[in-house]
Structure 1
Amino acid sequence: MRVIVVGGGVLGTMHAWQALERGHEVVQLEREPEARGASVRNFGLVWVSGRAAGPEVEAAQRARDHWERIAESVPGLGFRANGSLTVLRTDGELAVGERFAAGPDAAARGTTLLSPGKARSINPALRGEMRGALWSERDAAVEPRTAQPALRAHLAATGRYRWLPGREVVEVAEGSVRDDHGQRHTADVVVLCTGAVLSGPIRELAPEPPVRRVRLQMMQTAPLDEPLTTSVADGDSLRYYPAYRGAALDELTAAEPQSPVAAEHAMQLLMVQRLDGGLTIGDTHAYEEPFPFDVTEEPYEHLRERVAELLGRPAPEIRRRWAGVYAQCLDGGRLVHREEVAPGVWLVTGPGGRGMTCSPAIAADTATEAGL
């Protein structure tokens, strides 16, 4: 078959990968000269540990295996099976960690509860005070700024793939799309992975998809002068990720309120060391539009303080700050909104903060459902 993928982010690129892997030809269009949305403004986390039980964590587990397999052919992904430590610093956080580590699916997630000494033996850079840590060996990381170009280079080597950047799609019909250069591209299947951009022809085909847009703020530091051997999360991530919900979390929330800044901006701390040594740190969550065009400094100050607490010393200087927007599915707990909006035309959107983690599994499921 001939497949058109609209959108150059990680979700679109993984749909292109799936189509090529199943023997088809692919044309991938992207409105920008290079993908600039949530796919490059994230941590690069392949995050199994905090996913909701059931279909979500199952998809994350499959996707994690896909990432490792793909990395064997595409070393430019920067894939590393570094695991993660969720640092528990209070009695309430420790109680949530104990309950989770004793749960029925902790072993499948590769999650165990560690003492402070054992946690520091895995990640010696964490010199701050802690009561314990959740170690999740199934978590991994890739390099978000280079993953898509590396994947595309591999796809192009098949001879069955064309990358067309700087082409905004202005019309979508059964079996074809037309771009703003006036060129019409024909296909047997069209997959629309336009991320948080749901206007123009997307709105014509799906006026009210069950998704919302979410804005985040993040930053990156100068290189840390030692390895951060795992990805790192703080106790606020227990409040954010659905895997930890339950009585222990309810008790934590009642007894230990978040700091006012963290609560106002729906914050957690995630921290990943890039291959150049810098730390990607975040993030905030804002849900009410219109989103501001500028960034707010208070969350960055909170994150710097929290990093210093975990490392036991100040964070390296901040080199970059940015904001991003992604689409999050609101459709009854589903991982993604997938809809055939016209014969042979599929809209796939709304993975939310799970896009980098789950895109290989989402794309595989789309390929199966679309008959590729």
Structure 2
Amino acid sequence: MIRDETVDREQQHKVGKKKKPLFLSWLQLRKERTKLLVAIAGISFADVLMFLQMGFQGALFSSAVEFHHSLNGEIVMTSSRSRALISLDRFTERRLYQAAGIAGVASVSPIYLNAIQWRNPYNKEIWSIYAIGINPEHQVLNIPGVEANRQKLREPDTALFNQGSRQEFGPIAQRFEAGESVITEINNRQVQVRGLFNLSPTFGINAYLVTSDVNFLRMDANRQGGLIDVGVIKLKPGVDVQTVLTQIRSRLPDDVKVMTRDDYEKAEVSFWKASTPVGYTFDLGVVIAFIVGAVIVYQILYSDVTDHLPEYATLKAMGFRDRYLLIVVFQESLILAVLAFMPGVAIALGIYQITNIATKLPMAMDLGRVAFVFILTAIMSASSAAIAVRKLQTADPADIF
């Protein structure tokens, strides 16, 4: 703000209508454009950090429950000692068939899960892939690629490959779609890829493979028959889920957990939130980004107030109250928040797309996250302004002149 210009403008409106604080806020920010650009860059950086931490956390939770969400059943059974897909324990399939005799149950389907050794057929490197074994006669997974090709799994030594897998597993999807016959080795056993499906990798699982229960037991030679990892229970139409759930729990011993599919998903998310450092790390990252942004805004506003303290003191001498001057500073902080937020969103979207291509994680922006980060940005800026204006309250015309 140029002293003469500001004083003249305020004097002109002394006898008439006072100049609106918003005009003064923008005029003051626009005057020193270099400082304005630096402030926008700093706040945008904090916004991008918050978007990235929330984006990774959202990808963590959404990818972790894609398998759970695909299950074609209302009730899920697991071992009482299972905690998540990467922390499983097996239970006897007799428990699942005991539940099949309860009124309201339409069908039950066992699922085998385990990490097995996949050999990249093109460079011969061996990687761990997460195998899902299902009965090909049952529609247990609501995944289009699986449903369209599950009958092919009746053939021995066949499997469906996850086309969302990372590149280290080989260009399987590209070669298969080009019409090539893709044959690889799993635990030293030749297996042919007969179809593709799409399931996002997670922070604990790099790729998936779907095969039949019979083929699964052939690939996982150490697996004892009759021990499964997940049981899916489908109910008859119109049956109350909670009623059947209560009956199953009352009839089965406590060596298994029986829950709705929604509760199964919540348990997986809870595991990543509470039982691993990953969820905590992302929450901490948001807090740190907020603090970094608040410090940046404070430094900018404090410097601005200090540099123009004589002008503020002059305005106070002309009869402007502290409230008016405080509004000017608060509006400066909100203008900075708005100007910095827009490029922050654009940069975050670009990084989301790059991350999705590189890692196959489901990084996606949603309106709820955009609104939440904007609110955090506004709070961050307003809080910094509240601290910076304490310097403004000390501006005394008697000290200046």
Pairwise TM-score range, normalised by the shorter structure: under 0.3
Structure with larger Rg = 2
Q: Scaled by the length of structure 2, what TM-score is found?
A: 0.22
Q: Scaled by the length of structure 1, what TM-score is found?
A: 0.23
